[in-house]
């Protein structure tokens, strides 16, 4: 097992990694930008090193700064969390060359699944359906030609990178002309890769994903599936597990498809295989995210296991130590993302000094957060303040428990998505488990 691990991230996921390392007896080094000097990860890690300015390009996105900190602190391994360098094959390669273990899949797998078009080809090779799509596009002229062959409506998507960056729905040629160059600039700045592709847009549809975990000995398991259809700007807001209103045969086919793809790739560590499901029960592969996901707590709660400690154990060379049959899923879990955003103004980020009046707790309630009273919310990073998760023996019990927990999340000083989450949880379509990726627009926001 590692002696010391560097946490190459910030916020609540950095705290998760620090807590998991403490359980495993591993010392931690936190890295931070000048904007995060007073953060909880800095205070709770065994040591902390400043790696640069608030601008992430000079700190959290700088491989050189992070690996320099790892060398100075004498760390054995680096956990990237999610976002920033978590899916950078170049960063994995730099870690390997430096002799530092990267907590995630090896460079070759990371490079392959990071290319969404290459990942689609691998899915097709094992018989998993994919949506009709173009090849990589670098100009509007190429996009217009591809769109003519595919037919509208379409989605513009980034060939490399994720997190909803660059995604645009284009119902017709005029919208494609307006959006293509905007999307190309956005993904070029976010991922240093401006390639785009077009993919058939299915409406209505559900977004279903499967949590997978593999070791270096060929063992692969899934931790069930999650429904992530409640989205704003193609980014998730509410997630739950197991996915509601799924025929059990379909549920097993989706899970089995994820395992099949993981085995073909010789996948190691944690990952998420994402699918779109149409109203006829047909599912198509979208992508494989080669990292831990924001919404992983709902899978942890159902299995009673810690995904972060599992990641670290696997990276240290240990076997999974259990089979698919050993995993027992209990009850239902729902997660709401509480972001510093103003839903009434198009989800623009909200900044300010937090005043915490009350935070929820109690049986079946989990709050993953890095916030503290009078913390300054800056414009530099992702607006996620907290992840509120509830568990119940049934879906309705988890939903009712979430309604109560949201009411007790009382944070002032910034606008948040709390009230919107309350509206979602209370809405009849959500209560019935009958909603799609277009659901948010039906309640007046999105």
Of 184, 291, 366, 399, catalytic: 291
The span from the CA of 283 to the CA of 294, in Å, is: 23
d(CA 250, CA 354) in angstroms, rounded, equals 44
- Rounded to whole angstroms, the Cα distance separating 108 from 89 reads 8
Show Cβ contacts of residue 239 under 8 Å, excluding neighbours closer than 6 positions. Answer: 226, 227, 228, 230, 295, 298, 334, 335
Distance CA(319)–CA(418), nearest Å, equals 40
The answer to whether residues 166 and 186 touch, using CB atoms and an 8 Å cutoff, is yes
Cα angle 94, 95, 96 (rounded to 5 degrees) comes to 90
* Active-site residue flag, 291: yes
**Whole-number Å distance between alpha carbons of 104 and 51:** 22
The half-sphere exposure of 401 on its side-chain side, counting CA atoms within 13 A, is 22
d(CA 116, CA 113): 6
Q: Which residues pair with 33 in a beta bridge?
A: 52
List CB contacts of 55: < 8 A, sequence separation 6 or more. 33, 380
Catalytically active residues are 291
């Amino acid at each position: 097992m590692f002696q010391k691990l560097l946490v190459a991230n910030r916020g609540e996921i950095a705290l998760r990694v620090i807590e998991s390392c403490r359980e495993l007896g591993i010392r931690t080094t936190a890295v931070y930008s000048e904007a995060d000097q007073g953060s909880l990860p800095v205070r709770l890690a065994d040591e902390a090193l400043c790696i640069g300015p608030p601008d992430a390009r000079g700190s959290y996105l700088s491989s050189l700064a992070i690996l320099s900190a790892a060398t100075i602190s004498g760390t054995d391994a680096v956990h990237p969390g999610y976002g920033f360098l978590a899916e950078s094959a170049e960063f994995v390669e730099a870690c390997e060359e430096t002799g530092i273990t990267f907590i995630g899949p090896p460079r070759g797998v990371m490079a392959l699944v990071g290319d969404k078009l290459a990942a689609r080809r691998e899915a097709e090779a094992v018989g998993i359906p994919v949506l009709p799509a173009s090849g990589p596009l670098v100009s509007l002229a190429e996009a217009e030609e591809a769109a003519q062959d595919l037919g509208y409506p379409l989605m513009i998507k980034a060939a490399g990178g994720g997190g909803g960056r660059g995604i645009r729905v284009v119902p017709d040629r005029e919208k494609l002309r307006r959006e293509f160059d905007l999307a190309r600039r956005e993904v070029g700045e976010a991922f240093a890769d401006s390639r785009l592709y077009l993919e058939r847009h299915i409406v209505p549809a559900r977004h279903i994903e499967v949590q997978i975990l593999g070791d270096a000995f060929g063992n692969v398991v899934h931790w069930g599936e999650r429904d992530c259809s409640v989205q704003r700007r193609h980014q998730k807001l509410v997630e739950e597990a197991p996915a509601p209103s799924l025929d059990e045969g379909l549920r097993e086919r989706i899970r089995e498809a994820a395992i099949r793809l993981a085995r073909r790739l010789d996948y190691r560590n944690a990952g998420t295989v994402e699918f779109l499901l149409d109203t006829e029960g047909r599912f198509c592969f979208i992508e494989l995210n080669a990292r831990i996901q924001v919404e992983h707590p709902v899978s942890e709660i159902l299995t009673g296991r810690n995904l972060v400690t599992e990641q670290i154990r696997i990276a240290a060379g240990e076997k999974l130590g259990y089979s698919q049959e050993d995993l027992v899923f209990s009850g239902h879990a729902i997660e709401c993302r509480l972001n510093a955003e103003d839903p009434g103004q198009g989800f623009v980020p909200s900044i300010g000094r937090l005043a915490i009046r009350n935070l929820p707790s109690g049986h079946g309630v989990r709050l993953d957060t890095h916030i503290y009273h009078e913390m300054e919310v800056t414009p530099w990073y992702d607006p996620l303040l907290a992840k509120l998760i509830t568990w119940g023996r049934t879906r309705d019990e988890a939903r009712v428990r979430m309604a109560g927990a949201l009411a007790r999340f009382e944070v002032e000083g910034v606008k948040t998505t709390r009230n919107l989450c309350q509206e979602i949880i209370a809405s009849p379509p959500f209560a019935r488990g009958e909603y799609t990726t277009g659901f948010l627009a039906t309640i007046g926001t999105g």
